[in-house]
Amino acid sequence: MKTLKPVDWIPAQADDAVPGHLRILDQTLLPSETVFIETTDQEAIWHAIKILQVRGAPAIGVTAAMGVAAAAQDQRAGTIEDVRDAVDRAADYLATSRPTAVNLFWALDRMRRAAHASSAASGEALACELVREAIAVRDEDLAMCRAIGEHGAALLKDGDTVLTHCNAGGLATSGYGTALAPVYVAQEEGKRVSVYADETRPLLQGARLTTWELMEAGVDVTLICDNMAAQVMKEGRIDIVFVGADRIAANGDAANKIGTYGVALLAKAHGIPFYVLAPTSTIDPDAVTGAEIPIEERGAEEITEGFGRRTAPEAVKVYAPAFDVTPAELITGIITEDGVHNPGSLPL
Protein backbone atom coordinates (compact mmCIF):
# COMPACT_ATOMS: atom_id res chain seq x y z
CA MET A 1 0.00 0.00 0.00
CA LYS A 2 1.43 3.38 -0.96
CA THR A 3 0.19 6.63 0.56
CA LEU A 4 1.98 9.88 1.18
CA LYS A 5 3.59 10.02 4.60
CA PRO A 6 2.01 12.76 6.76
CA VAL A 7 5.32 13.37 8.54
CA ASP A 8 8.84 12.06 8.15
CA TRP A 9 12.41 12.69 9.28
CA ILE A 10 14.66 13.56 6.32
CA PRO A 11 18.41 13.18 6.97
CA ALA A 12 20.74 15.54 5.11
CA GLN A 13 22.86 12.52 4.19
CA ALA A 14 21.55 9.02 3.63
CA ASP A 15 24.01 7.35 6.01
CA ASP A 16 23.25 9.40 9.15
CA ALA A 17 19.99 10.64 10.70
CA VAL A 18 21.70 13.77 12.09
CA PRO A 19 21.50 16.44 10.86
CA GLY A 20 18.02 16.12 9.47
CA HIS A 21 14.66 17.88 9.38
CA LEU A 22 10.92 17.22 9.50
CA ARG A 23 8.95 16.91 6.29
CA ILE A 24 5.26 17.53 6.96
CA LEU A 25 2.62 17.04 4.29
CA ASP A 26 0.33 20.10 4.50
CA GLN A 27 -3.07 18.40 4.81
CA THR A 28 -4.95 21.71 4.81
CA LEU A 29 -4.23 21.88 1.06
CA LEU A 30 -5.35 18.35 0.19
CA PRO A 31 -6.81 17.08 -2.04
CA SER A 32 -6.04 19.84 -4.54
CA GLU A 33 -2.36 20.50 -3.74
CA THR A 34 0.50 18.35 -2.45
CA VAL A 35 2.82 20.71 -0.56
CA PHE A 36 5.44 19.75 2.04
CA ILE A 37 6.70 21.87 4.93
CA GLU A 38 10.42 21.27 5.50
CA THR A 39 11.46 22.52 8.92
CA THR A 40 13.19 22.13 12.28
CA ASP A 41 11.62 25.32 13.66
CA GLN A 42 9.60 24.80 16.87
CA GLU A 43 7.03 27.49 16.06
CA ALA A 44 6.44 26.06 12.59
CA ILE A 45 5.98 22.58 14.07
CA TRP A 46 3.59 23.88 16.77
CA HIS A 47 1.63 25.81 14.12
CA ALA A 48 1.46 22.76 11.82
CA ILE A 49 -0.16 20.75 14.62
CA LYS A 50 -2.43 23.62 15.70
CA ILE A 51 -3.93 24.36 12.28
CA LEU A 52 -4.12 20.66 11.28
CA GLN A 53 -1.45 20.73 8.59
CA VAL A 54 -0.57 17.49 10.35
CA ARG A 55 -3.43 15.85 12.24
CA GLY A 56 -4.76 12.53 13.46
CA ALA A 57 -3.69 11.34 16.90
CA PRO A 58 -0.78 9.02 15.96
CA ALA A 59 0.65 11.44 13.35
CA ILE A 60 0.49 14.26 15.92
CA GLY A 61 2.49 12.03 18.29
CA VAL A 62 5.13 11.26 15.67
CA THR A 63 5.40 14.96 14.76
CA ALA A 64 5.81 15.92 18.42
CA ALA A 65 8.56 13.31 18.91
CA MET A 66 10.37 14.55 15.81
CA GLY A 67 9.87 18.16 16.95
CA VAL A 68 11.60 17.40 20.24
CA ALA A 69 14.36 15.57 18.35
CA ALA A 70 14.84 18.66 16.17
CA ALA A 71 15.19 20.84 19.28
CA ALA A 72 17.79 18.41 20.68
CA GLN A 73 19.64 18.42 17.38
CA ASP A 74 19.82 22.24 17.38
CA GLN A 75 21.69 22.09 20.72
CA ARG A 76 24.01 19.23 19.82
CA ALA A 77 27.16 21.38 20.01
CA GLY A 78 26.34 22.10 23.68
CA THR A 79 26.53 20.01 26.84
CA ILE A 80 24.24 17.13 27.78
CA GLU A 81 22.39 19.55 30.09
CA ASP A 82 21.94 22.01 27.19
CA VAL A 83 20.31 19.25 25.14
CA ARG A 84 18.09 18.15 28.06
CA ASP A 85 16.97 21.76 28.64
CA ALA A 86 16.12 22.10 24.95
CA VAL A 87 14.10 18.86 25.13
CA ASP A 88 12.15 20.06 28.18
CA ARG A 89 11.42 23.44 26.60
CA ALA A 90 10.28 21.88 23.32
CA ALA A 91 8.10 19.30 25.10
CA ASP A 92 6.44 21.99 27.27
CA TYR A 93 5.81 24.17 24.22
CA LEU A 94 4.50 21.47 21.85
CA ALA A 95 2.17 20.20 24.59
CA THR A 96 0.19 23.45 24.25
CA SER A 97 -0.68 22.87 20.58
CA ARG A 98 -3.79 20.64 20.88
CA PRO A 99 -5.37 19.13 24.03
CA THR A 100 -7.35 16.01 23.11
CA ALA A 101 -5.10 13.49 21.31
CA VAL A 102 -3.21 11.76 24.13
CA ASN A 103 -0.62 10.47 21.66
CA LEU A 104 0.85 14.00 21.70
CA PHE A 105 1.53 13.85 25.45
CA TRP A 106 2.54 10.19 25.28
CA ALA A 107 5.20 10.97 22.65
CA LEU A 108 6.46 14.08 24.47
CA ASP A 109 6.80 12.11 27.73
CA ARG A 110 8.63 9.33 25.93
CA MET A 111 11.14 11.80 24.46
CA ARG A 112 11.61 13.58 27.79
CA ARG A 113 12.19 10.28 29.60
CA ALA A 114 14.66 9.14 26.93
CA ALA A 115 16.61 12.41 27.29
CA HIS A 116 16.82 12.18 31.07
CA ALA A 117 17.51 8.43 31.27
CA SER A 118 20.29 8.47 28.67
CA SER A 119 23.90 7.85 29.63
CA ALA A 120 25.20 9.46 26.43
CA ALA A 121 28.72 10.85 26.74
CA SER A 122 28.12 14.17 24.93
CA GLY A 123 25.43 16.55 23.73
CA GLU A 124 26.05 15.32 20.19
CA ALA A 125 25.57 11.66 21.20
CA LEU A 126 22.39 12.47 23.15
CA ALA A 127 20.90 14.41 20.22
CA CYS A 128 21.61 11.45 17.92
CA GLU A 129 19.91 9.07 20.38
CA LEU A 130 16.84 11.30 20.50
CA VAL A 131 16.55 11.50 16.73
CA ARG A 132 16.71 7.70 16.64
CA GLU A 133 14.03 7.55 19.37
CA ALA A 134 11.70 9.75 17.30
CA ILE A 135 12.28 7.56 14.25
CA ALA A 136 11.43 4.54 16.44
CA VAL A 137 8.14 6.21 17.44
CA ARG A 138 7.34 6.47 13.73
CA ASP A 139 8.34 2.89 12.92
CA GLU A 140 6.51 1.41 15.91
CA ASP A 141 3.38 3.32 14.93
CA LEU A 142 3.51 1.81 11.45
CA ALA A 143 3.85 -1.71 12.90
CA MET A 144 0.95 -1.11 15.32
CA CYS A 145 -1.28 0.13 12.50
CA ARG A 146 -0.45 -2.93 10.42
CA ALA A 147 -1.36 -5.21 13.36
CA ILE A 148 -4.61 -3.28 13.95
CA GLY A 149 -5.37 -3.79 10.27
CA GLU A 150 -4.87 -7.54 10.54
CA HIS A 151 -7.16 -7.85 13.58
CA GLY A 152 -9.79 -5.64 11.95
CA ALA A 153 -9.63 -7.36 8.56
CA ALA A 154 -10.58 -10.64 10.26
CA LEU A 155 -13.98 -9.04 10.92
CA LEU A 156 -14.53 -8.18 7.24
CA LYS A 157 -16.14 -10.53 4.73
CA ASP A 158 -15.80 -10.30 0.98
CA GLY A 159 -18.33 -7.70 -0.22
CA ASP A 160 -18.70 -5.87 3.12
CA THR A 161 -19.22 -2.12 3.36
CA VAL A 162 -17.62 -0.06 6.13
CA LEU A 163 -18.78 3.36 7.31
CA THR A 164 -16.09 5.64 8.74
CA HIS A 165 -16.00 9.15 10.18
CA CYS A 166 -13.23 11.75 9.88
CA ASN A 167 -9.86 10.45 8.66
CA ALA A 168 -8.18 7.66 10.58
CA GLY A 169 -6.21 6.47 7.59
CA GLY A 170 -2.61 6.55 6.43
CA LEU A 171 -2.73 10.36 6.51
CA ALA A 172 -3.37 10.24 10.27
CA THR A 173 -0.60 7.77 11.14
CA SER A 174 2.78 6.54 9.91
CA GLY A 175 0.96 4.33 7.41
CA TYR A 176 -2.19 2.18 6.98
CA GLY A 177 -4.11 4.21 9.55
CA THR A 178 -6.25 2.69 12.27
CA ALA A 179 -9.89 2.68 11.13
CA LEU A 180 -8.85 2.28 7.49
CA ALA A 181 -6.10 -0.27 8.14
CA PRO A 182 -8.49 -3.27 8.01
CA VAL A 183 -9.77 -2.04 4.64
CA TYR A 184 -6.24 -1.94 3.23
CA VAL A 185 -5.31 -5.32 4.71
CA ALA A 186 -8.57 -6.87 3.42
CA GLN A 187 -7.75 -5.46 0.00
CA GLU A 188 -4.30 -7.09 0.16
CA GLU A 189 -6.02 -10.35 1.10
CA GLY A 190 -8.16 -10.12 -2.04
CA LYS A 191 -11.46 -9.24 -0.32
CA ARG A 192 -13.69 -6.65 -2.00
CA VAL A 193 -14.53 -4.08 0.69
CA SER A 194 -16.28 -0.75 0.07
CA VAL A 195 -16.33 2.34 2.27
CA TYR A 196 -18.85 5.12 2.96
CA ALA A 197 -17.00 8.21 4.22
CA ASP A 198 -18.81 10.85 6.29
CA GLU A 199 -17.66 14.25 5.06
CA THR A 200 -16.98 15.38 8.69
CA ARG A 201 -18.03 18.97 9.21
CA PRO A 202 -16.58 21.48 9.76
CA LEU A 203 -13.04 20.74 8.48
CA LEU A 204 -14.08 17.98 6.05
CA GLN A 205 -11.39 15.43 6.88
CA GLY A 206 -13.68 12.72 5.45
CA ALA A 207 -14.37 14.53 2.19
CA ARG A 208 -10.88 15.93 1.64
CA LEU A 209 -8.66 13.19 3.07
CA THR A 210 -10.42 9.84 3.53
CA THR A 211 -11.95 9.74 0.05
CA TRP A 212 -8.68 10.95 -1.45
CA GLU A 213 -6.44 8.35 0.16
CA LEU A 214 -8.91 5.49 -0.49
CA MET A 215 -9.26 6.47 -4.14
CA GLU A 216 -5.45 6.65 -4.45
CA ALA A 217 -5.36 3.08 -3.08
CA GLY A 218 -8.05 1.89 -5.49
CA VAL A 219 -10.67 1.26 -2.76
CA ASP A 220 -14.33 1.77 -3.68
CA VAL A 221 -15.45 4.81 -1.62
CA THR A 222 -18.67 6.81 -1.51
CA LEU A 223 -18.84 10.25 0.10
CA ILE A 224 -21.88 11.24 2.17
CA CYS A 225 -22.73 14.31 4.25
CA ASP A 226 -22.69 13.61 7.99
CA ASN A 227 -26.46 13.97 8.20
CA MET A 228 -27.00 11.19 5.64
CA ALA A 229 -25.57 8.40 7.79
CA ALA A 230 -28.92 7.45 9.36
CA GLN A 231 -30.61 7.07 5.99
CA VAL A 232 -27.67 5.13 4.54
CA MET A 233 -27.80 2.72 7.50
CA LYS A 234 -31.58 2.38 7.23
CA GLU A 235 -31.20 1.45 3.56
CA GLY A 236 -29.04 -1.48 4.70
CA ARG A 237 -25.88 -0.22 3.00
CA ILE A 238 -23.53 -0.52 6.00
CA ASP A 239 -22.23 -3.78 7.52
CA ILE A 240 -19.82 -2.37 10.10
CA VAL A 241 -18.56 0.98 11.44
CA PHE A 242 -14.83 1.58 11.98
CA VAL A 243 -13.62 4.82 13.59
CA GLY A 244 -10.36 5.98 15.15
CA ALA A 245 -9.82 7.62 18.53
CA ASP A 246 -7.90 10.52 20.00
CA ARG A 247 -8.01 9.30 23.57
CA ILE A 248 -9.57 6.22 25.16
CA ALA A 249 -10.38 6.32 28.88
CA ALA A 250 -9.67 3.36 31.17
CA ASN A 251 -13.36 2.37 31.15
CA GLY A 252 -13.47 2.20 27.33
CA ASP A 253 -15.16 5.56 26.64
CA ALA A 254 -13.53 6.88 23.46
CA ALA A 255 -13.01 10.45 22.26
CA ASN A 256 -12.91 10.95 18.51
CA LYS A 257 -13.82 13.59 15.95
CA ILE A 258 -17.06 15.46 16.64
CA GLY A 259 -19.94 13.46 15.21
CA THR A 260 -18.57 10.05 16.14
CA TYR A 261 -20.92 9.74 19.14
CA GLY A 262 -23.89 10.36 16.85
CA VAL A 263 -22.67 7.67 14.45
CA ALA A 264 -22.38 5.22 17.38
CA LEU A 265 -25.98 5.95 18.43
CA LEU A 266 -27.15 5.42 14.86
CA ALA A 267 -25.22 2.16 14.59
CA LYS A 268 -26.83 0.94 17.82
CA ALA A 269 -30.31 1.88 16.53
CA HIS A 270 -29.71 -0.08 13.32
CA GLY A 271 -28.00 -3.11 14.91
CA ILE A 272 -24.68 -2.40 13.15
CA PRO A 273 -21.41 -3.29 14.96
CA PHE A 274 -19.39 -0.22 15.93
CA TYR A 275 -15.61 -0.62 16.46
CA VAL A 276 -12.99 1.86 17.66
CA LEU A 277 -9.49 1.20 16.30
CA ALA A 278 -6.41 2.73 17.90
CA PRO A 279 -2.89 1.86 19.06
CA THR A 280 -2.37 1.34 22.79
CA SER A 281 -0.60 4.74 22.83
CA THR A 282 -4.13 6.22 22.50
CA ILE A 283 -5.30 4.64 25.76
CA ASP A 284 -5.01 7.05 28.69
CA PRO A 285 -5.01 5.03 31.92
CA ASP A 286 -5.14 8.31 33.90
CA ALA A 287 -8.55 9.17 32.47
CA VAL A 288 -10.86 6.93 34.49
CA THR A 289 -13.88 7.77 32.30
CA GLY A 290 -14.50 9.84 29.19
CA ALA A 291 -15.65 12.76 31.38
CA GLU A 292 -11.96 13.37 32.17
CA ILE A 293 -10.92 13.73 28.53
CA PRO A 294 -10.25 17.39 27.59
CA ILE A 295 -12.27 18.37 24.54
CA GLU A 296 -10.69 20.89 22.20
CA GLU A 297 -12.81 23.86 21.17
CA ARG A 298 -11.92 25.47 17.88
CA GLY A 299 -12.46 28.88 16.33
CA ALA A 300 -15.95 29.94 15.25
CA GLU A 301 -14.67 30.81 11.78
CA GLU A 302 -14.17 27.11 10.98
CA ILE A 303 -17.98 26.86 11.11
CA THR A 304 -19.08 30.29 9.90
CA GLU A 305 -16.63 30.71 7.03
CA GLY A 306 -14.87 27.42 6.53
CA PHE A 307 -12.89 27.29 3.31
CA GLY A 308 -13.35 30.98 2.61
CA ARG A 309 -17.07 31.64 2.12
CA ARG A 310 -19.22 33.07 4.91
CA THR A 311 -22.18 30.77 5.57
CA ALA A 312 -23.63 32.29 8.76
CA PRO A 313 -24.50 35.84 9.88
CA GLU A 314 -21.72 38.07 11.22
CA ALA A 315 -21.54 37.93 15.04
CA VAL A 316 -23.66 34.77 15.33
CA LYS A 317 -22.92 32.83 18.54
CA VAL A 318 -21.05 29.61 17.82
CA TYR A 319 -20.08 26.57 19.90
CA ALA A 320 -17.36 24.45 18.26
CA PRO A 321 -16.23 21.32 20.16
CA ALA A 322 -13.83 19.42 17.90
CA PHE A 323 -14.32 16.01 19.56
CA ASP A 324 -16.99 14.03 21.37
CA VAL A 325 -16.90 10.99 23.63
CA THR A 326 -18.64 7.76 22.69
CA PRO A 327 -19.64 5.85 25.84
CA ALA A 328 -18.17 2.36 26.15
CA GLU A 329 -21.62 0.75 26.08
CA LEU A 330 -22.09 1.84 22.45
CA ILE A 331 -18.76 0.29 21.38
CA THR A 332 -18.81 -3.32 20.16
CA GLY A 333 -15.04 -3.66 20.48
CA ILE A 334 -11.80 -1.69 20.69
CA ILE A 335 -9.15 -2.95 18.30
CA THR A 336 -5.53 -2.30 19.23
CA GLU A 337 -2.31 -3.87 17.96
CA ASP A 338 -2.89 -6.64 20.55
CA GLY A 339 -6.29 -7.70 19.26
CA VAL A 340 -10.00 -7.02 19.75
CA HIS A 341 -10.91 -5.97 23.30
CA ASN A 342 -14.15 -5.66 25.14
CA PRO A 343 -14.26 -1.91 25.95
CA GLY A 344 -14.66 -2.81 29.62
CA SER A 345 -11.41 -4.80 29.77
CA LEU A 346 -8.70 -2.80 28.08
CA PRO A 347 -4.97 -3.61 28.41
CA LEU A 348 -3.95 -0.79 30.79
Closer residue to ligand MRU (CB): 152 or 244: 244
CB of 171 to ligand MRU, least distance (A): 9
For residue 72, which of 9, 11, 137, 123 has the smallest C-alpha distance? 123
Closer residue to ligand MRU (CB): 28 or 289: 28
Q: What share of the chain is helix, strand, coil (3-state, %, to 5)?
A: 45, 20, 40
Query: Is there a catalytic annotation at residue 246?
Result: yes
Closer residue to ligand MRU (CB): 178 or 304: 178
* CA–CA distance, 334 with 245 (Å, rounded to integer): 10
* CA–CA distance, 79 with 117 (Å, rounded to integer): 15
Catalytic residue among 8, 160, 246, 253: 246
CB of 172 to ligand MRU, least distance (A): 3
Q: Is 230 in a helix, a strand, or coil?
A: helix
* CA–CA distance, 70 with 39 (Å, rounded to integer): 9
Q: Is 231 in a helix, a strand, or coil?
A: helix
CB 320 within 8 A of CB 302: yes
Which residues 6+ apart lie within 8 Å of 184 measured at CB? 1, 149, 170, 176, 177, 217, 219
CB of 52 to ligand MRU, least distance (A): 6
Strands 339-341, 323-326: pairing is unpaired
Residues that bind ligand MRU (CB under 6 A): 52, 55-58, 101, 166, 168, 172-173, 177-178, 205, 244-246, 256-257, 322
CB of 119 to ligand MRU, least distance (A): 35
- DSSP E strand stretches across 54-203: 161-164, 194-198
Closer residue to ligand MRU (CB): 24 or 57: 57
CB of 290 to ligand MRU, least distance (A): 14
Closer residue to ligand MRU (CB): 52 or 64: 52
Helix axes 57-74, 123-153, angle to 10 degrees: 170
Residue number of the CB atom closest to ligand MRU: 244
Give the residue numbers annotated as catalytic, written as ranges.
246
